[in-house]
Amino acid sequence: MHFIVEPGFFSSQPVHVALTIGGVVAVVSAAVGIFTVIRGQSFAGHTLTDVSTAGGSAAFLLGMNPLLGFIGLSLVGSGTMDLIGVQRVRGRDLATGIVLGASIGLAALFLYLDTTTRATTGATQQILFGSIFTLDPGEVPIVVAFSVISLVALAVIYRPLLLATMSPDIAAARGVRLRPVGLAFMLALAVSVGLSSLAIGSILSTALLIGPAAAALRLTKRIGAALITAVAIGVAATWVGVLLAYDSYYWGSSHNGYPVSFFIVALTFLIYLASGLPARRAATSAPAKRH
């Protein structure tokens, strides 16, 4: 048992908080991620992570809870992208690119002010790469509340969103109002990105958003099954990542351990690579049926 789970894992409070927040965030990220991938909005999702970097660093500067900064500014960012024209395929890259550039500039300013005017030593590391073990237990209810909001919003718009994603023309013909549905999804995406920024860092949160969903969509084309698979992959990668980070303390004599965000992202990436294997085997055994 010691080879897999080092002593004290189940009684450690930082581990409890990490497993709870990591698990909840992984569920939201995977569910939102499925729609992000099939709508082709991965770039928009990544841009929102950069926006949330600016939000997190501003929150540090103001002495606020970083989660509110992450989520607050991603909401503003998603609204701005909608305004500039993220709905239209032609305007999409432009809108996201402009918001991305502006928000990284703001993040640079805020992080500079953080480190030069306040005693916030770890701010840059914490915002960019996360620190799930150092979160306060009081953070759990806030994370759960935002997660529920995001999931409920997704459930409410689920059917029109699916139709609007698969065939916008039919959806429009059936009276689905594409713009409000798209905006509602962008807002759910913004909350999800803010949550994963807190868990694994704003720069890495794209990985948790896109990775499990992309892997699941390689394994199944049925949307319901893909949702469940993505959630399972996301939660598994997060929890095993937390476990490995905890165990890594005992790997060397220096007792430093390795960052949990690295493990989560590495596992997500490995699962994505592995998810290509069944399709490849099917392709080699029945080449005629390929796509």
Partner 1 sequence: MRPFEGESPRRGRRLAAGALVAAAMTAATGCGGGARVADSVGSSVAPDSGVINAVGAENEYGDVISQIGGRYVDVSSILNNPNTDPHTFESSPRVAREVSSAQLIVQNGVGYDDFMTKIESASSNSARRVIIVQKLLGLPTDTPNPHLWYDPTTMPAVARAVSTALAALQPAHAAYFQAAAAKFVTSLNPWLDAIAAFKAKYAGTTAATTEPVADYLLTAMGIDNMTPFGFQADIMNGIDPSPEDISLENGFFTKHQVKVFCYNQQVVDALTTSIRQTAQKKGIPVVGVYETMPTPGYDYQSWMVAEVQAIQSAVADGTSTEHL
The residue within the footprint of partner 1, chosen from 20, 87, 120, 220 (CB under 8 A), is 120
Dihedral, 15, 260, 72, 110 alpha carbons, nearest 10? 120
Return phi, psi of residue 125, to 5°.
-60, -45
Q: Is 256 in the site for partner 1 (CB under 8 A)?
A: yes
Within 137-156, the residues that bind partner 1 by CB under 8 A are: none
Q: What is the largest CA-CA distance in the chain?
A: 66
Instruction: Between 90 and 255, name the residue whose CB sits nearer to partner 1.
Output: 255
Distance CA 272, CA 265 (A): 11
Those residues with Cβ within 8 angstroms of residue 161's Cβ, 6 or more apart along the chain or in another chain: 35, 154, 181, 184, 185
Within 192-221, the residues that bind partner 1 by CB under 8 A are: none
- Number of shown-chain residues binding partner 1 (CB under 8 A): 35
* Two tokens, residue 146: 């935002």
Give the helix/strand (H/E) hosting 25. Answer: helix 13-38
CA 287 to chain centroid, in Å, comes to 36
Q: Is 15 in the site for partner 1 (CB under 8 A)?
A: yes
Q: Is 80 in the site for partner 1 (CB under 8 A)?
A: no
The residue within the footprint of partner 1, chosen from 83, 108, 121, 179 (CB under 8 A), is 121
Q: Is 131 in the site for partner 1 (CB under 8 A)?
A: yes
Q: Is 53 in the site for partner 1 (CB under 8 A)?
A: no
Q: How far is the CB of 122 from partner 1 (least distance, A)?
A: 4
Q: Is 116 in the site for partner 1 (CB under 8 A)?
A: yes
Distance CA 76, CA 111 (A): 19
Q: At which residue do the structure tokens 């809108």 appear?
A: 95
Q: Is 117 in the site for partner 1 (CB under 8 A)?
A: yes
Q: Is 169 in the site for partner 1 (CB under 8 A)?
A: no
For residue 287, the 8-state DSSP code is: G
Q: Is 4 in the site for partner 1 (CB under 8 A)?
A: no
Q: Is 238 in the site for partner 1 (CB under 8 A)?
A: no
Q: How far is the CB of 72 from partner 1 (least distance, A)?
A: 17
> Given the rule CB under 8 A, which residues bind partner 1?
8, 12-15, 18, 66, 112, 115-126, 131, 133-136, 245-246, 248-249, 254-257, 259-260
